[in-house]
């Protein structure tokens, strides 16, 4: 019998970071300026090797189409041709253009970025797939099959803009303050310790309209990664963030769990606490952890996960990485530091530091109503 294949353990990306997220729960759209200013105030949390933003609600004119942001390393036009052909063969393209940039921005060696607004053109076996699953599959095919091409963003009516540089430089390069208005923004500043920054490796990490920004190092990486492999997720980017993103995808998108449950999987309460709960809760938390133990995310981390209509911030079970939340009217902020929130909104109705594993959830008012309706229908 053939010897079993060697399990290649990749070098992991070690990093520390600054995070920020803001949502206007009324759905009002606003420019990227607020997120940029907040990130600028947390400059020391990054080292200029990566910054990025996710913006929701920025393409209302194409809101029914998947917006694929594609990065071409080294301005590889061969890769560009292959991606064009691939997209033509698999999607109906309603509009495509080079993403406008400001060449005077202080960034190093930027690659070429294009965006394609597409709808799936499923053929044969693929017809069985949902639109979302089809897009995920095709994105994976580009990312793994076409050298120097990398899809950094693939959701509808949203986009990720990221690269090597401080966040404010990246924002200037993509002209986020001037060009875009969204109802929700998340942002990331990166301090990688052992991998040279590359534009694709910056955060946010995105699949469909899901984005993840992350600060931390996961000590359960190997456990999480190998569990996710059983469900067909192969971590190729060598970052903890990727593990987080896949875990979110598996639990929230595929299994349909709400963040209120997922947060208890990622950062379950201590057994000491569970053991003194009432029987119903005790059974719930014990069963949840018994089954989803391999997706407990251990070590120091904070993440902000967003998708249309909602975002949430959460930190690890013993709060080894910072997270602060603030609210002012319809605005809800999540940040690594309170100072960043105060920098953009000095007067807050409420500021607090959540407990480990307690998610800070920012939902559109409209989404909240939808959920309440769904729950009452189940009743």
Give the catalytic positions in this structure: 17
Measured from the CB atom, the residue of 5 and 127 that comes closer to another protein is 5
CB of residue 291 vs another protein: minimum separation in angstroms?
5
CB of residue 77 vs another protein: minimum separation in angstroms?
37
Q: Kindly state whether residue 59 participates in binding another protein, applying the rule CB under 8 A.
A: no
Name which position in 166, 210, 227, 266 contacts another protein (CB under 8 A).
Answer: 227
Q: Kindly state whether residue 260 participates in binding another protein, applying the rule CB under 8 A.
A: yes
Residue of 194, 116, 108 lying closest to 153 (CA atoms): 116
Q: Kindly state whether residue 270 participates in binding another protein, applying the rule CB under 8 A.
A: yes
Determine how many CB atoms are found less than 10 A away from the CB of residue 280. Answer: 8
Site string for another protein, 175-214 (x = CB under 8 A): ------------------x---------------------
Measured from the CB atom, the residue of 98 and 275 that comes closer to another protein is 275
Q: Kindly state whether residue 276 participates in binding another protein, applying the rule CB under 8 A.
A: no
**Applying CB under 8 A, what is the total number of residues that bind another protein?**
55
CB of residue 154 vs another protein: minimum separation in angstroms?
24
Do 22 and 35 contact (CB within 8 A), yes or no? yes
**Integer CA distances (angstroms), 64 to 108, 133, 155, 308, in order:** 34, 16, 10, 13
- How far is residue 255's CA from residue 178's CA, in Å, rounded to a whole number? 38
Determine how many CB atoms are found less than 10 A away from the CB of residue 28. Answer: 11
Name which position in 40, 140, 253, 300 contacts another protein (CB under 8 A).
Answer: 300
Q: Kindly state whether residue 9 participates in binding another protein, applying the rule CB under 8 A.
A: yes
258 alpha carbon, distance to own chain's centre = 16
CB of residue 373 vs another protein: minimum separation in angstroms?
12
Name which position in 219, 238, 277, 338 contacts another protein (CB under 8 A).
Answer: 219
Pairing relation of β-strands 91-98 and 112-120? Answer: antiparallel
Instruction: Mention every residue, 6+ apart, whose C-beta is less than 8 A from residue 304.
Output: 19, 20, 21, 186, 212, 213, 214, 311, 312, 313, 334
Name which position in 123, 290, 346, 347 contacts another protein (CB under 8 A).
Answer: 290
Q: Kindly state whether residue 233 participates in binding another protein, applying the rule CB under 8 A.
A: no
**Integer CA distances (angstroms), 138 to 33, 66, 320, in order:** 33, 12, 37
Instruction: Single out the segment in contact with another protein by CB under 8 A; choices: 39-47, 51-59, 84-92, 291-299.
Output: 291-299
Q: Kindly state whether residue 143 participates in binding another protein, applying the rule CB under 8 A.
A: no
For 262-340, strand residue ranges (E) read 301-307, 310-315, 324-328, 331-335
- How far is residue 1's CA from residue 294's CA, in Å, rounded to a whole number? 30
For the chain, strand residue ranges (E) read 15-24, 30-31, 51-56, 66-72, 91-98, 112-120, 149-153, 158-163, 181-182, 184-192, 205-207, 210-216, 301-307, 310-315, 324-328, 331-335, 350-352, 360-363
Q: Kindly state whether residue 320 participates in binding another protein, applying the rule CB under 8 A.
A: yes
Instruction: Single out the segment in contact with another protein by CB under 8 A; choices: 39-47, 62-70, 95-103, 285-293.
Output: 285-293
Contacts with another protein by CB under 8 A lie at 1, 3-7, 9, 12, 14-16, 193, 217, 219-223, 226-227, 229-231, 255, 257-258, 260-261, 268, 270-272, 280, 283-284, 286-294, 296-300, 317-318, 320, 375, 378-379
């Amino acid at each position: 019998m053939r010897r079993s294949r060697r399990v290649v353990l990749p070098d992991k990306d070690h990093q520390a970071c600054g995070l920020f997220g803001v949502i206007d729960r009324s759905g009002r759209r606003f420019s990227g300026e607020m997120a940029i200013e907040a990130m600028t105030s947390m400059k020391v949390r990054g080292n200029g090797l990566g910054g990025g933003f996710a913006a929701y609600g920025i393409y209302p004119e194409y809101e029914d189409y998947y917006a694929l942001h594609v990065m071409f390393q080294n301005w590889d036009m061969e890769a560009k041709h292959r991606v064009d052909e691939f997209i033509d063969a698999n999607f109906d393209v309603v509009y495509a253009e080079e993403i406008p940039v400001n060449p005077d921005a202080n960034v190093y060696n930027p690659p070429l970025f294009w965006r394609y607004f597409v709808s799936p053109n499923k053929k044969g076996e693929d017809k069985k797939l949902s639109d979302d699953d089809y897009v995920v599959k095709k994105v994976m095919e580009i990312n793994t099959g076409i050298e120097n091409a990398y899809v950094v963003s693939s959701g509808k009516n949203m986009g990720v803009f990221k690269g090597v540089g401080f966040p404010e430089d990246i924002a200037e390069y993509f002209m986020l303050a001037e060009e875009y208005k969204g109802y929700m923004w998340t942002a990331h500043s990166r301090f990688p310790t052992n991998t040279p920054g590359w534009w694709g490796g910056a955060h946010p990490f995105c699949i469909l309209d899901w984005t993840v920004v992350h600060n931390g190092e996961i000590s359960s990486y190997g456990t999480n990664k190998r569990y996710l492999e059983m469900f067909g997720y192969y971590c190729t980017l060598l970052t903890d963030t990727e593990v987080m993103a896949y875990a979110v995808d598996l639990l929230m998108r595929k299994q349909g769990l709400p963040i209120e449950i997922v947060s208890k999987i990622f950062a379950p309460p201590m057994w000491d606490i569970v053991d003194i709960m009432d029987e119903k809760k005790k059974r719930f938390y014990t069963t949840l952890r018994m089954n989803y133990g391999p997706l407990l995310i251990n070590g120091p981390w904070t993440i902000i996960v967003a998708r249309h209509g909602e975002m949430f911030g959460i930190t690890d079970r013993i709060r080894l990485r910072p997270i602060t939340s603030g609210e002012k009217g319809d605005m809800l902020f999540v940040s690594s530091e309170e100072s960043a929130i105060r920098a953009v909104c000095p007067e807050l109705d409420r500021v607090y530091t959540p407990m480990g594993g307690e998610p800070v959830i920012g939902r559109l008012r409209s989404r909240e109503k939808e959920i309440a309706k769904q729950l009452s229908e189940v009743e």
